[in-house]
């Protein structure tokens, strides 16, 4: 089944509670959506972890995004296991993180190259939902934020601009035909938006992928699905993985988090800081 291309959109759908017809009030949606956007850029090789800070890579510079032209960048090193995830490879035997075609198991993933393809030329633009990665306003905006700033920790970027990022993702889902938006006013005064899933089976498919990632051999887990698991677990999204499931899968969750580098720990710290009212990482 076809699902939204970006991880941020997938996380939004996973956070949606079909029983309540909305995202739960206490859901850490903003932090999870921002972490998902960072994970997208990290898995595609546009960001690297340099001494604990999100750093734009040479791949992002080569793709000509105006925010990073002329900026020094680090080389685009593979995120894990020595395999270049940005080229359609992942851990040994895994499905492509970036392919928009079905890989092993018939699941579409995130871009336009088949699993097993070689590293693309530097001017190739990894696609998100069929568009160049920087044609996605969430990813483009995040790259611009990072390019305009001194190097900062991953948590800093998770903490920033959560509400506008969620609003953009919600609009993307509406424009893509995944959800329907209806404006209304609470008690006739406060503007609000009702979100309705157009096809509940899409969310069920995403939930199925998350749960399958906990059962399949780690080497066969699509890195995109692994990132969803990491974000869902760190965000304590009980409607997808409840406390018991997280506890029973503790070792597997750690294995999958390791594949996503700094994303899981940074999200965990962001949520902890938010709960305690402390400032985010610099």
Q: What is the mean pLDDT of each run of 10 residues along the chain (282 residues)?
A: 95 94 89 97 95 87 54 48 38 38 41 36 37 76 95 96 96 96 87 92 97 93 96 95 94 92 95 79 65
pLDDT for res 110: 44
pLDDT for res 272: 93
Domain enclosing residue 201, as ranges: 7-276
DSSP assignment of 173-187 equals HHHTTSEEEEEEEET
C-alpha span between 191 and 170 (Å, rounded) = 16
Looking up residue 147, the CATH number of its domain turns out to be: 1.10.3630
198 assigned to some structural domain: yes
2 assigned to some structural domain: no
Residues with Cβ within 8 Å of 175's Cβ and at least 6 positions away in sequence, in order, are: none
106 assigned to some structural domain: yes
Q: What are phi and psi of 182, to 5 degrees?
A: -130, 125
pLDDT for res 247: 95
281 assigned to some structural domain: no
Element (H, E) at 54: strand 53-56
Number of domains within the chain: 1
Q: How far is residue 184 from each of residues 12, 43, 52, 70, measured CA to CA in Å?
A: 20, 38, 43, 45
282 assigned to some structural domain: no
1 assigned to some structural domain: no
pLDDT for res 13: 97
pLDDT for res 102: 39
pLDDT for res 63: 57
DSSP strands (E only) in 79-162: 127-128, 131-132, 152-153
């Amino acid at each position: 089944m076809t699902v939204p291309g970006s991880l941020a959109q997938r996380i939004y759908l996973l956070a949606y509670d079909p029983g309540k017809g909305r995202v739960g009030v206490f859901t850490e949606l903003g932090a999870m959506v921002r972490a998902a956007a960072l994970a997208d850029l990290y898995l595609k090789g546009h960001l690297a972890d340099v001494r604990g800070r999100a750093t734009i890579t040479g791949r992002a510079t080569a793709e000509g995004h105006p925010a990073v032209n002329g900026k020094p960048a680090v080389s685009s090193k593979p995120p894990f296991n020595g395999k270049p995830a940005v080229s359609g490879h992942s851990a040994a035997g895994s499905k492509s993180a970036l392919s928009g075609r079905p890989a092993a198991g018939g699941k579409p993933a995130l871009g336009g190259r088949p699993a097993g393809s070689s590293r693309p030329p530097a001017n190739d633009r990894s696609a998100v939902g069929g568009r160049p990665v920087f044609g996605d306003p969430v990813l483009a905006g995040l790259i611009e934020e990072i390019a305009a700033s001194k190097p900062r920790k991953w948590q800093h970027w998770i903490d920033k601009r959560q509400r506008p990022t969620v609003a953009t993702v919600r609009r993307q889902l509406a424009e893509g035909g995944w959800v329907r938006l209806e404006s209304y006013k609470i008690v006739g005064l406060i503007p609000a938006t009702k979100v309705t899933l157009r096809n509940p089976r899409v969310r069920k498919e995403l939930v199925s992928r998350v749960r399958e990632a906990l059962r399949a051999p780690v080497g066969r887990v699509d890195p995109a699905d692994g990132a969803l698991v990491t974000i869902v677990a760190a965000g304590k999204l009980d409607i997808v993985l409840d406390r018991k499931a997280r506890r029973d899968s503790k070792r597997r969750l750690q294995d999958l988090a390791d594949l996503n580098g700094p994303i899981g720990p940074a999200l965990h710290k962001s949520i902890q800081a938010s709960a305690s009212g402390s400032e985010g990482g610099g």
